[in-house]
Amino acid sequence: MSDNPQISAVLAYVEARERELGEQAGQLRSRIEDLTAHLGEPDAESENLRITRKTLLAIPRPDPVEGTPRPDVPDHPAYQQILTALADAGRPMRARDLCEALDLPILPKNTEGIRSKLKRLVTRGILAEPEPEPEPGLFTQPRT
């Protein structure tokens, strides 16, 4: 060290500051290591998703099954809801029963709307309406 008290004070400050900066650098390096480890997790998951997408796109489409073609269901979501409700019930249903199953108010406009959709599904061969002898107005999925 120097004999000069001013230089000794400056040198002591420089040494203290060097230690302080060394500690800060060590803390920052530790944080960088933690962040790098955490960054690896989303990178790994992203890579897994990329591989999954690639695998799914590589799966060939199955050949269509020979036999009767499946009729096209109309695009409106109400038709899917009707078919789901019928499948869930597992029994023939009336338009009124379907209104209840679909949480629609039992009003003539709703019942007639459902009935017309049911009739449309019958004409497309998606649903069946048994003969009117035992009970008219029942709709069911056809036996396959």
Write down the pLDDT at residue 77: 86
Shortest CA distance to 127 belongs to which of 104, 103, 93? 93
What are 66-74's contacts with CB under 8 Å, separation 24+?
Answer: 71/124, 71/125, 71/126, 72/124, 73/121, 73/124, 73/126, 74/120, 74/124
The DSSP secondary-structure symbol of 137 reads T
Q: What is the pTM of this model?
A: 0.48
* Joined tokens for residue 95: 């338009």
99-123 pLDDT, tens per residue? 898 888 888 898 999 999 988 888 8
